[in-house]
Amino acid sequence: MRHSSVRGEGAPEQAAGGISGGGGPGASGAVPEPQGEGDGTSGVRRRRRGKRRVLLWTSSTMAFLILGTAGAGYLYYRHLNGSIQTDALNLGDNKLGGPKPNAFGQTPLNILLIGSDARNDKENQALGGGRDTFDGQPLADVQMLLHLSADRSNMSVVSMPRDTMIKMPKCTEPGPDGKVHPASKGLVQVNESLSRGGPGCTVAAWQELTKIPISHFMMIDFKGVVSMADAIGGVPVCVQENVHSRTKAGKGSGLKLPKGESVIQGEQALQWLRTRYGFEDGTDLGRTHAQHMYMNSMAREFRKNAKLTNPVKLNSLAKAAIDAMVVDPGLNKIDRLYDLSMELKKVPPGRITMTTMPWIQSPNDRDRVEPKPGEAEDVFRMVREDIALDGQDAKQPGGSASAPAASSSATPSAAPTATPPAKIPVAVRNATGGKDESQVKVKGRASDVVALLVGKGFTKATADQLTGAEDTTLIRYAKPEQAADAAAVATAFGLPADAVQQSAEVPGITLFVGKDWRTGAAPPAAPPAPTKAPDSARPLNGDDDKACMKIQEGFTW
């Protein structure tokens, strides 16, 4: 029986599912039959995913739209401040301490865009369908991380498929008596994070998986999507052949476009963002690629400052955006949204890169995916280290990839501490077995590292009786005022900046000796960071105005 994270049964359009953002059948190269027929349990599961889920991808596009249009007109709408809905930024224990500034004091921004399938009013229910799920918990079915570089020269967007299986972190709802959602014992579908206390748990799940500190989130629901699409005024898109997204069984978005470029808006834009049948091989991988094309084209339109000067249109867009979104407290004012939009506006479309997290099919379920070993981490690391996914940093002297703060060397030393090493208590835990405990812990390893710390002047270091399970060596600290002291420990061993994390699960500064440091006097140096996103991420450049969707056989007219 399919678990509660899958909704949409009884929705007006029962488009067969797969994996949003590039998963599912496409992972094995299988092409869904145009008739929409399936066999066995997997086929039934795919058919249950309908209009509700694909509309969520529209929500993520609208989140991007909000950011892009804020600078065009939000200052005119200060009276909307009181209407902005907010929720806690991070409900997890691991706060990561925020993005690290570069050598010039500039700080990157990481913004998580979330699409919720909440059916909390008649508008959302009408758009979402699936009457049997009206009272269900909302799901974070769209998740995109927008990374704005520290020097504001480039922007990277990383989509995560909704059916990605991850280990869910512990999340605690706000308030003195906030409900505690314990960490999952096994893998859980990532979109369930929203039902574990709100968007702050989705942020926590991303941070736990990627180790990327998230600055803000923006969450969008169904309502407002169509009206906001109308308010855009039209976005150019391209198809390589005439296309009609409709199967003989009546499934599909209904999109019908002639070969070449068309300017779409309103319902037609919604159809483009929903289309699965008819694009590429008929899987969600093609649908995601089409959504990225749309977002890049939209960004180019905003750059031209066209179609968004009409006060009536701006008013309609602003109202639709405010009604449809929830943000963290750091974005709870129109001025703050405006300031953010001005930062985003500095990036030319040619330095915007859209990607999907590299994935593999889950070994236990062909309808689920997991992060692709190696290549998913490469993308996450590039974001953590502020390296542009388009590869241009490596070509430019002084670019992010060669800047001191973007390398894998430790930047915590940039945060000086007034505490001498001899006065810094450090607990050392043996975590050398790895997260999956695939290796036997090295006996006495914590004591060995304590001796190394004492030799470096940290005379209050002690071996903890508790152990851990980590693939890489980490330093965690409990309170913000301990951050600088934890950074000093990292610097002593040459650990990278992202190895230092704030966590409520430790009583003080704690060094976890990971599987990567089973022997020797220092952790092994990290290999050089990638300089360009892997092909498996399907990078799409924002300046590519020649991008044109390939059409699936059998869907032309």
- The answer to the question of residue 532 being in a domain is no
| Rounded average pLDDT per 10-residue block, the chain, 557 residues | 35 32 35 35 39 39 51 56 88 81 88 71 45 58 89 94 90 91 93 92 94 91 58 84 94 93 84 86 79 83 60 66 83 84 85 94 88 95 94 65 37 54 96 88 96 97 94 92 91 88 90 96 88 94 92 95
Whether residue 425 is found in the same domain as residue 383? no
Look at residues 369, 396, 423 and tell me which one is the last residue of a structural domain.
Answer: 396
Whether residue 322 is found in the same domain as residue 224? yes
Nearest to 449 by CA among 424, 482, 485, 473: 473
Spatial distance between the Cα atoms of 444 and 231, rounded to a whole number of angstroms? 65
- The answer to the question of residue 281 being in a domain is yes
Strand partners, 327: 86, 218
Spatial distance between the Cα atoms of 272 and 249, rounded to a whole number of angstroms? 20
pLDDT score of 230? 65
Encode 380-413: b = buried (16+ Cβ within 10 Å), e = exposed: bbbbbbbbbbbbbbeeeeebbbebebbbbebbbe
pLDDT score of 40? 40
pLDDT score of 17? 30
pLDDT score of 360? 93
Whether residue 273 is found in the same domain as residue 336? yes
Strands 140-148 and 109-116: antiparallel
pLDDT score of 346? 87
Whether residue 343 is found in the same domain as residue 440? no
Spatial distance between the Cα atoms of 69 and 314, rounded to a whole number of angstroms? 9
Report whether 393 contacts 400 (CB < 8 A).
yes
- The answer to the question of residue 71 being in a domain is yes
Whether residue 181 is found in the same domain as residue 276? yes
- The answer to the question of residue 366 being in a domain is yes
Q: What is the 3-state secondary structure (H, E, C) of 156-167?
A: EEEECCCCEEEE
Spatial distance between the Cα atoms of 475 and 35, rounded to a whole number of angstroms? 54
Q: Which domain holds residue 256?
A: 56-396
**153: buried, middle or exposed (CB in 10 Å: 19+, 13-18, 0-12)?**
middle
Whether residue 199 is found in the same domain as residue 287? yes
pLDDT score of 358? 95
Spatial distance between the Cα atoms of 194 and 101, rounded to a whole number of angstroms? 30
Whether residue 284 is found in the same domain as residue 345? yes
Nearest to 304 by CA among 540, 76, 77, 543: 543
Phi, psi at residue 513, to the nearest 5°? -80, 105
Report whether 228 contacts 60 (CB < 8 A).
no
Strands 140-148 and 155-159: antiparallel
Neighbours of 78 (CB within 10 A): 12
- The answer to the question of residue 402 being in a domain is no
Number of domains in the chain: 2
- The answer to the question of residue 35 being in a domain is no
Spatial distance between the Cα atoms of 408 and 401, rounded to a whole number of angstroms? 10
Whether residue 110 is found in the same domain as residue 154? yes
Neighbours of 314 (CB within 10 A): 18
Whether residue 348 is found in the same domain as residue 422? no
Whether residue 250 is found in the same domain as residue 139? yes
Whether residue 228 is found in the same domain as residue 370? yes
Spatial distance between the Cα atoms of 152 and 224, rounded to a whole number of angstroms? 30
What is the signed CA dihedral for 284, 384, 182, 362, rounded to 10 degrees? 30
- The answer to the question of residue 407 being in a domain is no
Whether residue 469 is found in the same domain as residue 377? no
Look at residues 396, 420, 449 and tell me which one is the last residue of a structural domain.
Answer: 396
Neighbours of 184 (CB within 10 A): 15
Report whether 551 contacts 489 (CB < 8 A).
no
pLDDT score of 374? 92
CATH number at residue 253: 3.40.630.190
* 327: CB partners within 8 A, 6+ apart: 84, 85, 86, 87, 216, 217, 218, 219, 337
- The answer to the question of residue 553 being in a domain is no
DSSP string, 268-331: HHHHHHH--TTBTTSSHHHHHHHHHHHHHHHHHHHHTT-S---HHHHHHHHHHHHHHEEE-GGG
Look at residues 371, 396, 421 and tell me which one is the last residue of a structural domain.
Answer: 396
